[in-house]
Amino acid sequence: MKKNIEIDISIKFRKKSTAVIIAKSLDPDNKDFPEGLTMNQSVKNNVLEIKFKSNNVVETLLNTVDEVLAMIDMTSKTLEKVE
């Protein structure tokens, strides 16, 4: 089913530097999205804000959001072990 959908996600980290590193880690994945799907991100203080927009199939959007959240989780856990 095709619909116009927007999803906004805000994730608060303890430090701004963590939010910045995680945002940068998403950059390579923020390129070749399926047609009709976009992702924009920004860091404000220690909050990573991500906006997804899609006029594509709902399942494609949900799969993409799931992949991005999994990448954020993995990167966050890696940073915790390094710090």
Reported as a single tens digit per residue, the pLDDT across 44-65 is 999 999 999 999 778 888 998 9
Which residues span the domain enclosing 50?
Answer: 5-82
pLDDT of residue 76: 93
Number of domains in the chain: 1
Share of the chain above pLDDT 70, in %: 95
For residue 45, give the CATH number of its domain. Answer: 3.30.310.50
pTM for the model stands at: 0.86
Contact, 31 vs 57, CB < 8 A? no
The long-range contacts involving 53-58, CB below 8 angstroms and separated by at least 24 positions, are 53/4, 53/5, 53/6, 54/3, 54/4, 54/5, 54/6, 55/2, 55/3, 55/4, 55/5, 56/2, 57/1, 57/2, 58/1, 58/2, 58/3, 58/5
Average pLDDT of every residue of the chain: 90
Res. 77 pLDDT band, cuts 50 70 90: very high
